[in-house]
Chain A
C-alpha cells in the first residue's frame, strides 16, 4: 500500500512541477457507506462500514493536451471492529490492513498529434468500444471491479495507448493493451464462484469413483496468468460513421477474457491401492479471445436504440481435452468452438418523466465459451420526485437459461448542492441451480452519503 502511495505522490509531483501547479484542478468526493449482508447470522454486527475519498487531479498542457490522475482511497471494516480499530486506535495495524488505495485513472492526452486529426491517450484509462448500456460484448478492455454484489457492473481502468483518428466523417479508435488487467472481485463473490466451480466437478468425481478412483486431495485452484509472448498484446480497433439516424461501427478486438477460467485438470496417483487415491489439480488461465463485430446506435422515432453483434473466436487448444467430459454439466464442457454473442437495447422517456431502459443480451461478459452462453433480460426504470431531489430507480436482470434473477431498487436524495444520501438493496434469487440463487448469501442493503468537493 505504501508503495502505491509513494508511486502516486511521485507521479502527481512530477506532473505538477512539469506543467505548473496553476494549471491543475483538484476535485473529489467523500463517501461513507454502511452495508448489511442480510443473510449473515448477525447481519448488523457483521455489517461493513466504509469511508472513502476519491480525488481527481487534472491539468492542462496548453492546446496540445491534458492529463488526469484519479485516486480512490477507502477504509472498509466490519462494524463490530470499526470503533475499536479506528476511533479508539487500539489496533492501528488492523486499520491499515483495511485501507485500500487504487489508482483509478492516470493518463496523458495529446491532441491533434502531428497537426493531424489524431488524439492520443496514454496510460490507465477506461475503454469501451461497445454501445450497450453498462454492458458490451466487446468486454476484453472492461475488467470487472466488484467487492460486493451490487457492483458487478463496475469496471476497472486498463493500461494502454488509445488513438482516435477522425478522417472526414469517420472515427477510428484503436487501443493497444500491453498487459492484461484482470477482474478484481471481493472475497465473498470469489468464494461463491469457487463453490460453483467445485460443485461442477462433483459429477466428474462421482464418475471416477465408479471407476475405482478416489480423490483424496484437491489442489487449490491455481490462477495461471497468461504470458503475452504466447498470444501478443491486446488490441482493439473500431471504425464508425453516422448513417442517417444511426452511428454504425465495425470492431475487431483481441485480448484475454479478464476473468480466469478452468482450462483443465489432472490426476496424480498417491499410492498403489484400490481404489486408487488421487490428487486432483485444476488449472486456470485467461482465455485468449478474438472478436469481430458490428455496433449500431441511434434513434427510432422518439426512442433510443442500440445493438451489437459479435463473432467470438477463442484460442484453439486452450482447453484440455479432459474438459469436454460427458460427466460434466453441459455448461462446463468448455471447448474452443467459435460462437456468436449480441445485444439489443432500447430506452424511452415517458411524458410523466418515467425513464425505461431494456436490453436483451445473449452472452454475458463472464460467459466466454459456447457452452456457457445464456440469454438475459436487463431492465432499468427511474423517475425523479420532489422537484428532482429524489430519484427512485429499479434495476432487474433475468436469465432465461437458469431462471435466475437479481433486483436492485435504489433511492438517491440530493440533500444539498454537494451532498447526496442513498439507499440500495440487492436481492439475487431464482431457481435452486441458478447462478444468482447461489449468490443468495450476498443479499444486501446499503445506505450512505456522498459529499463532492
Chain B
C-alpha cells in the first residue's frame, strides 16, 4: 500500500505541475482519506487483542482492568466481543456487539445476559471515558460518520466527522487528524452537543504487525471532567479464523473465551 501511495503522490505532483488550475479537483475528499485509512490500517477481517485499561480521576488511579477484545467482519457487519478478565469485581463481565445495533451484556453477578437498550449506549462503558458508541473508535470504525476534509498540511489531513443520523449523536462533531506518512489517525477530538471540546483520543507507539499497524497505547482524555482512560494494548493477532459461535450469547456467558 505504501508503494501505491508513493505512485499516487508522484502522479499528483506531475499533474499539479502541468495543470495547476485543476489542483483543487485533485485534492482528496474526506471520505477518500477515511477510505484510505481503512485500507492502510483497519482492513483486517478479524482481530484478537488483550488490553489493560486504567482510568484516572485527575492523577489518581481509579480502576485497573484486563480485557480481551475479539472483532470480526462478516460482510458489512462488524461483530465484537469484550470480556473482562480482572479484577474480581468485574471479572467475567462481557459485552457482545452483534452488529445492526444488537448488543448484549453478561453480568456474572446475576448469571444473566441482558439486551442493551439504545439509551444505555450513550453512557460510559464500565467507568471508562468511552461510551458504548465510542468503542467503535478503538478500531477507528467511522462508518456511522460522514467525513469532510477541512484542512491539510504537508504532514497531516484534518477531517471533520458528523454522524449520518443526527438522532444518534452524542457529539456535535468529531475532528480526526490523519498522518500523511502512514495514514494513521493519531488524534481524534470530540466536541459535545454544546460545541465544547470534550474528549481527545490519542494513539501512541504505532507499531507494524505484518501488513497492519496498531498502537501500543491509546489515551482518551475527558477534558471537561478531568478524567482519563489509558489502554495498554498487547500484541494483536489479525485475520485469525474466528468461528461464528464466538460472537454469540453462548460464548458471552463463558468465563474464558476460546478462539
Contacts and interface: CB of A to CB of B under 8 A. Distances in A.
Interface of A: 27-29, 56, 58, 60, 63, 66, 68, 109, 111, 117, 119, 125-128, 134, 164, 166, 171, 247, 297-305, 347-351, 353, 355, 384, 386-389, 414, 416-418, 420, 450, 452-453
A388 B127 contact: yes
A417 B61 contact: yes
10 contacts: A68-B255, A111-B254, A127-B111, A297-B115, A300-B117, A348-B119, A387-B62, A389-B57, A389-B62, A452-B88
A348 B124 CA distance: 14
Nearest to B98: A242
Interface residues of B, number: 38
Interface string B217-259: 0000010011100000000000000000100111000111010
A303 B119 contact: yes
A128 B110 contact: yes
Contacts of B248: 166
Contacts of B124: 353, 384, 388
Contacts of A126: 111
Interface in B134-177: none
Given A27-B86, A304-B114, A386-B57, A60 B256 contact: yes
Contacts of B250: 117, 119, 164, 166, 171
Given A301-B118, A355-B123, A387-B222, 5 more contacts: A27-B86, A66-B255, A128-B110, A302-B117, A303-B119
A88 B22 CA distance: 91
Contacts of B112: 128
B119 A414 contact: no
B202 interface: no
Contacts of B114: 297, 304
A304 B245 CA distance: 25
Contacts of B249: 171
Contacts of B54: 417
B99 interface: no
Nearest to B226: A387
A413 to B, nearest CB: 10
* Nearest 4 Cβ contacts at the A-B interface: A302-B118, A304-B117, A302-B119, A452-B88
Contacts of A349: 117, 119-120, 122-123
Contact of B123 (A134, A171, A353): A353
B76 interface: no
Nearest to B123: A349
A347 B123 CA distance: 13
Nearest to A130: B112
A32 to B, nearest CB: 16
A452 B119 CA distance: 30
B35 interface: no
A302 B88 CA distance: 31
Contacts of A63: 258
Contacts of B39: none
Contacts of A247: 115
Contacts of A418: 64, 87
Given A299-B117, A387-B225, A56 B256 contact: no
Given A171-B249, A387-B225, A417-B63, A303 B111 contact: no
Interface in B90-129: 91, 110-112, 114-120, 122-124, 127
B127 A56 contact: no
Nearest to B64: A417
A414 B120 contact: no
B231 to A, nearest CB: 15
A27 B87 contact: yes
A145 to B, nearest CB: 14
Contact of B63 (A66, A302, A303, A414): A414
Contacts of A389: 57, 62
Contacts of B115: 247, 297-299, 304
Given A349-B120, A414-B62, A56 B111 contact: no
Contact of B91 (A27, A297, A353): A27
Contacts of B222: 387
B122 A351 contact: yes
A420 B88 CA distance: 12
A417 B61 CA distance: 6
